[in-house]
Amino acid sequence: MLRRSVLKLLHRSASAPARRYASTKSIREALEEVIPAKQAQLKKLKVEHSQAVLGDVKVEHVIGGMRGLKSMLWEASVLDPNEGIRFHGLTIADCQEVLPPFPGGKEIIAESMLWLLLTGKVPTEAETRSLSQELARKGELPDYIVKLIDSFPSTLHPMTQLGMGVAAMNQESAFAAAYERGMKKSEYWTYTLEDCMNLLARLPALAARIYRNVYNPGKPIPAIDHSLDLVGNYSNMLGFGNNYDLTEYLRLYIAIHGDHEGGNASAHTSHLVGSTLSDPYLSYAAGLFALAGPLHGLANQEVLRWQQNMQKEIGSEITHDNIKEFLWKTLKSGQVVPGYGHGVLRSPDPRFIALQKFCETRPELLKDPTIQLVRKTYDVAPDVLKEHGKTKNPYPNVDAASGCVLYHYGLTQFKYYTVIFGVSRALGALTQLVWARALGLPIERPKSLSMDTIEKLVKGA
């Protein structure tokens, strides 16, 4: 009951009565309202609780990739092993209920998620539409970036092109220019926000141009439509603007992939590089190159490839028994089951559940053999993995479902899937760069240890 009451209040905050003032309030003004309280909260933590212990550092943390080590401030989201991701306390289901969609649509859009991640508040419909219009106005690529992207060979990986394009845009960084002129630390966040908004606005055009050059060379790219939202324009520039269902799927995909706590490789890399006061373009370019790794953002294309191989072997008769047989074949060959397991989660990924529910509303998706395979694999894979005994989390993550829907709607180029992930992950990584500057967080500098030193410490203990 309490949860329903909170959601009703949040929903009211996003409805008509708030529109009177929303039309004149920008996202910067919304931030100016909330930053002082967060700064005061951080100051109190420093003064009153700086020596409080949050957890013990064990050898497994040092040699196991720091997994589970509580050592990073990240305001936008918290990932619970059992409940999954929450964005400022809201689950994905909560967000689907209260965040404004695109007019006439049903799915969360990037702008409403961006507003929530950045301010901690649910935007009104008017605030969301105003933000869409602002991003559309800023969305055109500079000529030198167009020439740079067009000069790349089509064989250059799309993620390499995306990272290079983002890094090259730092020539226009408002933060870098202001820092060189000399500015107060209290102004860091404002110039960082300007860079982040410009980069977010341009990512769809950049990503779409890469897609065109690699897969459809010479095909005209539609101009940015100021009546559309960020993802609506992205879908249109990709050449899928007339595919309403794919556009809605991309809206959902990008919104729920926007942030997943700060410890994942791409978010953490952006945070680390940003802590040196590198501008947002360089910081997020570094995060994109982390995302390009097979253990991170490339996972969804690996999952789809594995699913299609299973489908070829099983044939048209998809049963729980022959899926189980293929799962054991994969495991006994020394491979992992792609799309299952997660570094933090110990339950089915709520993002996977959200994408499954999207499929359930569309009969054409439920008839798709690959999507049927995904659903039936979910029925048997957890028990197989439990019996195998080497997987801490035997449940599906988001990659188990994300690629097959893109493939069904005609976006079939596997190598490009991580670029879409890169467009989405910018929502969380860039908003937290703004907060890192607003809170004055220091350069990140953990202490490293050699194995000899670890052995001495362990013996001493």
Q: What is the pLDDT along the chain (461 residues), one digit of tens a residue?
A: 444 444 544 444 444 333 333 446 899 999 999 999 999 999 999 999 999 999 999 999 999 999 889 999 999 999 998 889 999 999 999 999 999 999 999 999 999 999 999 999 999 999 999 999 999 999 999 999 999 999 999 999 999 999 999 999 999 999 999 999 999 999 999 999 999 999 999 999 999 999 999 999 999 999 999 999 999 999 999 999 999 999 999 999 999 999 999 999 999 999 999 999 999 999 999 999 999 998 888 887 888 889 999 999 988 788 999 999 999 999 999 998 988 988 788 889 999 999 999 999 999 999 999 999 999 999 999 999 999 988 888 999 998 989 999 999 999 999 999 999 999 999 999 999 999 999 999 999 999 999 999 999 999 87
Percent of the chain as helix, strand, coil, to the nearest 5: 65, 5, 35
Is 342 labeled as catalytic in the residue annotation? yes
pLDDT score, position 297: 86
Is 226 labeled as catalytic in the residue annotation? no
Domain boundaries, the chain: 135-294+424-438, 299-408
pLDDT score, position 24: 60
Beta-carbon neighbour count of residue 286 at 10 Å? 22
- List the catalytic residue out of 80, 296, 368, 388: 296
Local structure of 155: helix, strand or coil:
coil
pLDDT score, position 235: 98
| Spacing of C-alpha 330 from chain mean position | 29
Instruction: Report the alpha-carbon distance of residue 31 to residue 229 in Å, rounded.
Output: 21
CATH of domain 135-294+424-438: 1.10.580.10
Is 268 labeled as catalytic in the residue annotation? no
Question: Phi, psi at residue 446, to the nearest 5°?
Answer: -70, 160
Instruction: Report the alpha-carbon distance of residue 360 to residue 121 in Å, rounded.
Output: 30
Contact between 301 and 417 under an 8 Å Cβ cutoff? The reply is: yes
Helix or strand run (H / E) with residue 20? helix 19-22
- List the catalytic residue out of 279, 342, 349, 408: 342
| Spacing of C-alpha 75 from chain mean position | 15
**Amino acid letter, residue 27:** I
CATH of domain 299-408: 1.10.230.10
- List the catalytic residue out of 88, 259, 399, 408: 399
Instruction: Report the alpha-carbon distance of residue 202 to residue 193 in Å, rounded.
Output: 14
Nearest of 222, 185, 182, 181 to residue 205 by alpha carbon: 222
Radius of gyration of the chain (CA): 22
